[in-house]
Chains A and B, each alone.
Chain A
C-alpha cells in the first residue's frame, strides 16, 4: 500500500507533504516514514493511506455548470 507522509517542524505550522512510503501495514508505514524522512527535527510526522485521501472534483451543481 502507498502511504503519504506529512510533517511539520513547529507546532501550529501547516503540515507539509514530505513524500511517500510503500508498506504492508500501518505499523510498518509509521516506521518507514520515520526512518526515511528523519532528516529534520520534526515536531510531527504522520502517514495517511493513499486510499483514504478524498479526491476533490468539480461537479455540476443545480443551477450551475461544470468547470
Chain B
C-alpha cells in the first residue's frame, strides 16, 4: 500500500488525475457527438457505448478527486473553459470521420496509459474494471485505423500530424524519465512520462507498419519543459469551446434538474 493512501495524494497527483478525468469527460462528449454520424450503425452503437463508459469512469474519478478535497461545485458545474485540463486534441470537434477516429484513438489510448501507470491503492480494482471497458474502445479504434489506413491513408496521416504533437504535449516532457518524473519519485505512478510517450509512439508505428501511413517522429523537444504547465499539461492557454462546457455542465437544461 502506498504511504499516501490514507493521508492524501501528492498535489501533483491531484492535477494528474484531474487531467485524466477531464480528458475522459471530453472523450465522452466527442463520442456522443459522433454516435449518430459514423459510417456504420455498428460504429454508432460502439461510439455510444464508449461514451457511456467514459462518463461512468469520470464519475469514479471525480469521486476520488472530491475525496482529495477538490470542490464538488467547481468540479461539476462552476468551471470556466480554461479550467478544464483535457487533452488539447479534444478542444475542437473533428470535421470528418477519419480525423475523428485518429483524434479519439490517440486520446483514449493516452488516457488509458496515464491511468494504468497509477500505482496507488485508491485505484486498484477500479482501473482493472476500466481496462475491461478500454479494451473495446482501443480495439475498435485500432480496427478502424487499420481499414482507414488502407482506404484513406492521406487523411489518417494528416490527422496524425495534427494530433500527435498535441498528445505528446499532454503526456508531458521527454525529460520526465524514470529517474526524474516527479510522480514516479513520489510513488504515485510506476511508469514515467518518457516511457508512456515511447509506448504510445511504438504502438502506432507497429499498427501502421505495413501501410502507407507514416507516424510522426517522437520529438523529444515537444513539449518544451520550460513552457509546460503541469496542471493543464499544456504549453499554451488553449481550451474547449464555451458552448461545449455549457453542455457538459447542463447549463441549457438547468431548469429541469431534479433536486
The distance from the CB of A42 to the nearest CB of chain B, in whole angstroms, is 14
Q: Does B143 contact A (CB under 8 A)?
A: yes
B147 & A32 in contact (Cβ 8 Å cutoff): no
The distance from the CB of B32 to the nearest CB of chain A, in whole angstroms, is 15
Contact pick for B146, options A25, A30, A32, A34, CB 8 Å: A25
The distance from the CB of B167 to the nearest CB of chain A, in whole angstroms, is 22
Contact pick for A23, options B42, B49, B142, CB 8 Å: B42
Interface string of A9-44 (1 = CB under 8 A from B): 000000000000111110110111011100000000
Chain B interface bracket (under 10, 10 to 19, 20 to 34, 35 or more):
10 to 19
- Measured in the bound complex, the distance between the Cα atoms of B42 and A21 in whole Å is 7
A23-B40, A25-B147 known; A32+B46 contact, CB < 8 A: yes
Contact pick for A27, options B40, B42, B139, CB 8 Å: B139
**How many residues on chain A are close to B (CB under 8 Å)?**
13
**Residues of chain A contacted by B49 (CB below 8 angstroms):** 35
A22-B40, A23-B40, A36-B42 known; A31+B147 contact, CB < 8 A: no
20 more CB-based (< 8 A) A-B contacts, given A25-B143, A34-B136, A35-B136: A22-B42, A23-B42, A24-B143, A24-B147, A27-B142, A27-B146, A28-B42, A28-B140, A28-B143, A28-B144, A28-B147, A30-B139, A31-B139, A31-B140, A32-B43, A35-B45, A35-B46, A35-B140, A36-B42, A36-B45
Interface CB pairs A-B, < 8 A, 18: A22-B41, A22-B42, A23-B40, A23-B42, A24-B147, A27-B139, A27-B146, A28-B143, A28-B144, A31-B143, A32-B40, A32-B45, A32-B46, A35-B45, A35-B46, A35-B49, A36-B42, A36-B45
